[in-house]
Chains A and B, each alone.
Chain A
């Protein structure tokens, strides 16, 4: 039959096309794939393995055990630190969005003349070495720091505000300062990508300024909003330098626990286990964000 033959050759042809495309794709992604595999996933796989090994101070034996995970989930201190980490990162992220969205909004609505100047000014501080930045914040927030002295001079307060340094607040302030541009830029870009004619159409159909924000700008900037949230939330969950320098005991985060397990407690098994717990929580949260926001649909 002609049709049978036709469809047969057709199928074979299609198969060959698919194969060629697949082959081409493989060759293209091969080098970066190897690179990522060797530099990230192999070490991660090793860490994952170690997290199930019997481990103590400076000892590590390849004997399977769940002890490292059990230790973490039965220790009130670790759980408290996990809770702190979550509170600090989430709090900072919420504040980042509250501060960053309006900045992005005004940047996007401004004439192009000053937009880039302001973006530039926003990014400059981030380019300063982060240790210098953190120390600068220590000077600003400390008991004799700029903020406290100023407020006392004004007579607003009698005693220095203690919660400004070595606290969750301090960690949040520094994190917000550090990550603000990363929140502003994606939101700015998604707002600026909205065609003027879409906004005009909304006006033409009877929208007030609030309606335009609520029904056009906000929903259309959701991809940027969630991109920026994911972008800053993951590194903030794993943060250790900022809490180490300005956090004090109450601002201690999981990153510090992991760091000390590797560098001072010498317990690699427990350190790896906590690392993977943090990773698992992060992945679940990101998956949740994507699911709730339907980001795949919008991206």
Chain B
């Protein structure tokens, strides 16, 4: 993040609806030009967050700054922020051209400038020749692109997108993800992209904020969030993970020895912040991603590795990889991904009910807090 004023700063923002705290004391900063994603399950407060930034909802507490200027209570028509709505919200009585020209006309741009800009934007999203069509004559993907350029044409400092691809099927969604990312790069406008699809956030965003129950649990690059989730919720929500419930036995620097009752003693690492709060005897969870674990028929000679024996419960062939579900002695089932590299691979012939060894390096197991460490 640059040292200058951030593109957007949200400070202690809170919004209640009756008893529900939709957004609970949230703070974060976004750099100008960043592709920022708000990721969280349904009802976590993403839309409410976005609507407050867009001016469609008034916060109960906290402040919003756009390029250093406070905009907390500015009405939407006075903010340099535009929204792409979840259900597109195109104007049904206007054709594509007039939909896109709606904003500029309210701002009294000269018609010839409007024509130039609309034409250029339609071309950018491959909709030249669609000027005269009405929204009801467009496919979902086409509507989506019209909604996007209708908001982009005003060149806002910040564009808010609320699950813009949520209603589309996978193929179109993937194509549009790429297109959106390219457009964002081209126009250089800051994007806040709301989604509950973790893979979408991972592919598109520069940084992700993971939300749950009105709070932001973690903000970071996709890699940071995937590799170093701060708590159990984040680890589970982003990608798949195996969780071992246990008790802290020993702490050596950032290395933590954990006793998983009825299974094994394993070594993991905790983040610098977290390790300071850990105590011997504390109940914690350890997360290990399926692709960080390895399988072997024979007991591997890997000193220092975490090692446990189990039985193959099920296996799912996925083309590039195979997913093994291995039942451990404590009846817990862990997932292990293995690349399908060659037919000579010893894993190739592993099948149901075979005993196997599961092993992984200690630094691949993360000791997690229930709440994000402060």
Contact = CB atoms under 8 A, between A and B. Distances in A.
B93 interface: yes
Contacts of B123: none
B154 A205 contact: yes
Interface residues of B, number: 24
Interface string B52-95: 00111000000000000000000111000111011101111100
Interface stretch (B10-18, B102-110, B236-244, B310-318): B102-110
Contacts of B85: 197, 200-201
Interface pairs A-B: 3 shortest CB-CB = A205-B103, A197-B89, A206-B106
Contacts of A197: 85-87, 89
A203 B91 contact: no
Contacts of B81: 204
A206 B87 contact: no
Contact of B102 (A205, A208, A298): A205
B207 interface: no
Contacts of B154: 205-206
A206 B91 contact: no
**Chain A interface secondary structure, helix, strand, loop or mixed?**
helix
A200 B106 contact: no
Interface string A192-208: 00010110111111111
A250 to B, nearest CB: 42
Interface stretch (A121-129, A155-163, A212-220): A212-220
B145 interface: no
B56 A203 contact: yes
Nearest to B78: A206
Interface residues of A, number: 18
Interface string A209-228: 00100011001100000000
B73 to A, nearest CB: 15
B77 A206 contact: yes
A275 to B, nearest CB: 38
B102 A198 contact: no
B89 A195 contact: yes
B77 A198 contact: no
Interface in B94-135: 102-103, 106-107
Contacts of B93: 219-220, 298
Contacts of A216: 91
A201 B81 CA distance: 12
A207 to B, nearest CB: 5
